[in-house]
Amino acid sequence: MIQFSDFEKKIKVVFKNKALLKQSFTHRSYINENGGTSHSHNERLEFLGDAVLELIVTDFLYKKYPNYTEGELTALRSALVNAIIISEIASEVGMNDYLLLSKGEAKDYGKARMYILANTYEALVGAIYIDQGYEVTNKFITKTLLPKTEEIVNKKLWRDAKSLVQEKAQEFVSVTPAYKVLTQSGPDHDKHFTVGIFFGGDLIAEGKGKSKQEAEQSAAMGALKVKNWLD
């Protein structure tokens, strides 16, 4: 039996509404497999948490980098709130141990788990916001996610990968990269795309994402790494 009180101690947030905390960890597949359960899955909380997370991150970046342009701030925010970073944070906080999943989903530790963790972190943000308010939510995000900002800025990971790989490909191999969807799966509310980046007829790298744009960015970053073009 999962003891969410242990998790509350970990994050130093004690929920008034314990059902809300449990809901934030509940994946749709768990509800489908356990039809008689009294609580709902976490997708509405994720919807709210996504917006709260974006506001808090935007406010932080706006104040911290007064000389950055709107475009630079947008790119930096995208690098900070992408699924890979957020799933890493969720793992570091120990959220993996509290996920309520179907038996099938529980066995999958690949890309699907990464997206589930990222979505659950957003749902948790939504739950903290409803239960504790803005200030406590801000503290939670400041403690868990925002420390990643320095690494992203120092390594210039915020730069738009598609623009950079196009610039490098034209400079070094005189081609314009092309992107092609290799596979797509999942229902409409939870699509997953795999996109390939091609130089001419050559597949250079693949990327995955919950949208074609996200998968293209991932593929572009992969190509930059393969070609050693990240200066």
> Annotated catalytic sites, by residue?
50, 122
53 with 122: CB under 8 angstroms?
Answer: yes
- Tell me which amino acid residue 139 is: K
Q: How far apart are CA 73 and CA 26, in angstroms?
A: 33
Q: How far apart are CA 3 and CA 189, in angstroms?
A: 30
- Tell me which amino acid residue 56 is: I
Which has the closest alpha carbon to 215: 172, 174, 183, 169?
A: 183
DSSP 160: -
Looking at the DSSP bridge assignments, the partners of residue 185 are 192
CA angle 55, 25, 99 (to 5 degrees): 130
